[in-house]
Amino acid sequence: MKLRLKVSIVNARGEGFMGIGLVWLLRRVKRFKSIHRAAADMELSYVKALKILNRLEKNLGRKVVIRTRGGAKHGGAEITPFAERYIEEYDRFLSALNAHAEKSFSRRRLLSRR
């Protein structure tokens, strides 16, 4: 048996605006250089992906994605250096939290097999 934690970051009103799904979306935007392709890969609508990213930017007060308009060159998107650091910090935090939780719960034999 293994312990899994779900972490969401909430704003002052208690509304969640960042969790692992958003991190997955940002990673895909980075890989595909496209919000549309990132959304499709996650089976999200483009509009839903935009809403998620806009909500994050509003809550952080910072840009996380630089968008380029379409047209002849088809536009694209890239995550900002701030978003890159934010993802790294989120990953470190989640890793430390999971390690602590595993250690704490295994000490209490809650996860051990009998």
Q: What is the pLDDT, as a whole number, of residue 98?
A: 87
Q: What is the pLDDT, as a whole number, of residue 33?
A: 95
Q: What is the pLDDT, as a whole number, of residue 20?
A: 87
Q: What is the pLDDT, as a whole number, of residue 8?
A: 82
Identify the segments of the chain with pLDDT beneath 70. 1-2, 71-73, 107-114
CATH of the structural domain 19-82, one choice from 1.10.10.10, 3.90.45.10, 2.40.128.110, 1.20.1250.20: 1.10.10.10
Question: How far apart (Å, rounded) are the C-alpha atoms in residues 112 and 109?
Answer: 5
70 Cβ neighbours under 8 A, 6+ residues apart:
none
Question: How far apart (Å, rounded) are the C-alpha atoms in residues 32 and 39?
Answer: 10
Q: What is the pLDDT, as a whole number, of residue 80?
A: 98
Q: What is the pLDDT, as a whole number, of residue 108?
A: 64
Q: What is the pLDDT, as a whole number, of residue 111?
A: 53
* Ordered DSSP codes for 89-105: HHHHHHHHHHHHHHHHH
100 Cβ neighbours under 8 A, 6+ residues apart:
none
Per domain, the residue ranges of the chain are: 19-82
Q: What is the pLDDT, as a whole number, of residue 103?
A: 83
Q: What is the pLDDT, as a whole number, of residue 11?
A: 85
State pTM to two decimals. 0.80
In the block, tokens 């992906």 appear at 49
Q: What is the pLDDT, as a whole number, of residue 107?
A: 65
Strand locations in the chain (E):
9-10, 16-18, 65-68, 76-79
- Evaluate whether 63 touches 57 at the Cβ level (below 8 Å): yes
